[in-house]
Amino acid sequence: MQSMGRDPHILSKRLAAFVKRQGSAKELSDRIGCDVRTAENIREGHWPIARHWLGLLLAFGKDLTDAVFHPDEAAARLELEVAALDQALARKRADLLHAQSYLARLEKVRARPRQGPAEDLTRHPAP
């Protein structure tokens, strides 16, 4: 964990930055079970009392603790998650292109007048 020697309020700032990304003070108060003013204070960098911490932990779990106490590890984990999602998206796009190609070939076959045996649509066209 990074040293707090340079900024003794770093954890409060990290917590405030995290909860600000989660929505309005009203939404935060609904999620963690506090009044709106308390949620506004947390969003402004005031350290919450224990029962509000419990609400925060129940609402946000590991994402919260990583963002506040282990931001470097959280960033590394998120980079890995983004890379995995990028790979999954690339596979989905390739599948979509394959399906579109198949549908285009199918439409060509359907548009042709029938003369002889049907084309084998399971074969991939030569590159």
Two structure tokens written together for 113: 């007048």
77-102 per-position pLDDT tens digit:
888 999 999 999 999 999 999 999 99
Q: Is a pLDDT exceeding 70 seen at residue 11?
A: yes
Average pLDDT over residues 103-125: 74
Q: How far apart are CA 58 and CA 41, in angstroms?
A: 19
122: which 2 tokens?
A: 């399971």
